[in-house]
Amino acid sequence: MRRTLLLVALLLLLPGAGTLHAQDSTAAIVEDSLWAEPESAFTPDNVVFDSAAAAAVSRPPVSPMGGFWRSLLIPGWGQAKLNRKLTGALFLTWEGVTLGMSIKTAHELNYLRRTKSGSIAAKRQEKEDWLVLLAFNHLFAGIEAYVAAHLWDFPEDLQVSATPLPGGGFGASVRLPVRFR
C-alpha cells in the first residue's frame, strides 16, 4: 500500500502530471439526454484526486476486528457502529432473553436443591443449555459484525419489496439483477 502511494506521489511530481489527458467522453453524450452534464464539468482543470477522501470512502466506520471485539463484549455494539441497528437490536434482544432465562433457571435450580427434588439433573441441563445459547449469541454477534465490516460497502443489488395481492393481503417480490460481462 505504501509503495502504491509513493508511486502515485512520484507520478504527480513529474512535469505535466498536473493535467489529465484522456479521450473526450463528452462527445458520446446526446444533448437531450437526462444525464448530460455541461461541457465545463468535464475539463481537465477541475478534476481533482483527493486521496484522503477516497480513503475515507473505502474505510468502514469500524475495523473488522474492532466490530468483532465490540460485539463479542456486548452483542449488537459492533452492528450499531456499522449502522446495522435492526441486526444489533436483534442480537441485544436475544442476549436479554438468554440472560434472563439463565438467571431464572439458576434460581429454580437453587430452589430444587434446597427442597432435595428429584429433577435437579434436568434443571441443571436446562441451565447449561441457556448458558450455551448465551455464549453462542456472543460469538455469533462477533462473527456477524466482523463479516459486516468487511462487506459494509457491498452494493445492495438485491431488492425485496411488498406487493399487494388482488384479493387482499400482500406478497413479496424479489429483484436480483444479473450482469453478464
- pLDDT in single tens digits along all 181 residues of the chain: 555 555 555 445 555 444 444 444 454 544 544 544 555 554 555 555 555 555 555 677 889 999 999 999 999 999 999 988 999 999 999 999 999 999 999 999 999 999 998 899 999 999 999 999 999 999 999 999 999 998 877 766 777 788 888 888 888 887 777 767 6
Measured CA to CA, the distance from residue 5 to residue 55 in angstroms comes to 11
CB atoms within 10 A of CB 67: 30
Measured CA to CA, the distance from residue 149 to residue 32 in angstroms comes to 42
- Please give the single-letter amino acid code of residue 89: A
Residue in 161, 155, 148 with CA at minimum distance from that of residue 91:
148
**Cβ distance 99 to 92 under 8 Å?**
no
Domain borders along the chain are 64-150
